[in-house]
């Protein structure tokens, strides 16, 4: 598969990555114009540089990815590369179209997320309730099986029952996402996570789920809860999951 084809596939899949292009070189080991894709896990795909330069290229590209800023870097004497950070559009998938979903979708749209709302009830997942969003009225499992996720996808699960929570997490957890959050009482959440652990999901993977959901601001109304959730999404987007969890730990919920 050519590099450009792979770039297009990654963008369609909602992935964030770095495309490194050699722009100046005085060695045959790094020909000007050659390209390499660097993924967030450090995987290299392409032929921009020889193996002798690979480690330096990887480190520079990962640094650019962390900062989410493209840059020009020198990876060896006389070898310069343009590190183009390509970020897919940040997408929010809301599973459940109840009363919290309405302000959540609105607030998320306002801060730059492309929002999709999924519910198995057509009168709930209706365009008139979610202006500016994509609405999908379909069985949760079926819809999620056909949906692409990725490192730019944020998922909030606010369904009307634990059985739907399970259906959503069964499809989402085996795949990569920037954020997965689950709303619910302690009893409901415990039941869902224990059921999933019994079905083979590791404790480590289940601990990655943000629950209780949202930055702890004492939210009570649907709008306040939505605000706390969007605040957490923005924190993860700009500061990473560790910072969001540190805020939760500060009040003893992590």
Q: Count the domains in the chain.
A: 2
Which structural domain, as residue segments, surrounds residue 183? 91-249
pLDDT digits (tens, 9 = 90+) for 82-125: 999 998 789 999 999 999 999 999 999 999 999 999 999 999 99
Do 72 and 98 sit in the same domain of this protein? no
Do 231 and 216 sit in the same domain of this protein? yes
What pLDDT is recorded for position 49?
64
What pLDDT is recorded for position 13?
76
Last residue of a domain, one of 86, 103, 124: 86
Last residue of a domain, one of 40, 66, 86: 86
What pLDDT is recorded for position 148?
86
99 contact partners, CB below 8 Å, separation of at least 6:
222
> Is the Cα dihedral 189, 195, 199, 204 positive or negative?
positive
254 located within any domain: no
What pTM, to 2 d.p., does this model score?
0.79
Last residue of a domain, one of 28, 60, 86: 86
195's tokens: 């059921």
DSSP lists the bridge partners of residue 245 as none
Do 128 and 235 sit in the same domain of this protein? yes
Do 52 and 112 sit in the same domain of this protein? no
Judging by DSSP bridges, how do beta strands 134-137 and 114-119 pair with one another? parallel
Do 167 and 49 sit in the same domain of this protein? no
What pLDDT is recorded for position 152?
87
Residue whose C-alpha is closest to residue 104's, from 232, 248, 238, 241: 232
- Write out the DSSP string of 90-127: PEEEEE--STTHHHHHHHHHHTT-EEEEEES-TTTS-G
What pLDDT is recorded for position 254?
65
Digit-by-digit pLDDT tens for the chain (254 residues) are 578 888 888 887 778 899 999 999 888 778 889 899 999 889 888 766 677 788 899 999 999 998 888 999 998 888 999 999 998 789 999 999 999 999 999 999 999 999 999 999 999 999 999 999 999 999 999 999 999 888 889 999 999 999 999 999 999 999 989 999 999 888 999 999 999 999 999 999 999 999 989 998 899 999 999 999 999 999 999 888 999 999 888 877 76
What pLDDT is recorded for position 9?
86
The full 3-state SS of 36-48, as one line of letters, equals EEECCCCCEEECC
What pLDDT is recorded for position 111?
96
Do 32 and 47 sit in the same domain of this protein? yes
């Amino acid at each position: 598969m050519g590099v450009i084809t792979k770039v297009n596939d990654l963008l369609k899949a909602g992935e964030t990555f770095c495309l490194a292009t050699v722009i100046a070189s005085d060695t045959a080991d790094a020909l000007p114009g050659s390209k390499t894709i660097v993924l967030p896990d450090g995987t290299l795909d392409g032929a921009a540089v020889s193996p002798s330069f690979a480690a330096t290229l990887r480190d520079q590209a990962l640094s650019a990815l962390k900062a989410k800023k493209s840059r020009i870097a020198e990876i060896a004497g006389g070898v310069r590369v343009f590190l183009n950070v390509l970020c897919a559009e940040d997408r929010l998938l809301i599973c459940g179209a109840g009363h919290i979903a309405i302000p959540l979708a609105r607030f998320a749209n306002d801060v730059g997320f492309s929002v999709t709302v999924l519910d198995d009830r057509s009168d709930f997942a209706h365009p008139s309730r979610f202006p500016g969003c994509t609405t999908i009225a379909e069985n949760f499992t079926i819809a999620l099986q056909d949906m692409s996720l990725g490192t730019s996808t944020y998922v909030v699960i606010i369904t009307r029952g634990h059985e739907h929570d399970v259906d959503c997490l069964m499809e989402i957890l085996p795949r990569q996402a920037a954020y997965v959050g689950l709303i619910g009482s302690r009893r409901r959440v415990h039941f869902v996570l224990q059921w999933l652990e019994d079905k083979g999901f590791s404790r480590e993977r289940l601990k990655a789920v943000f629950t209780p959901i949202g930055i702890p601001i004492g939210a009570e109304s649907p709008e306040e809860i939505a605000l706390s959730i969007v605040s957490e999404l923005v924190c993860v987007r700009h500061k990473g999951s560790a910072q969001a969890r540190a805020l939760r730990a500060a009040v003893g919920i992590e």
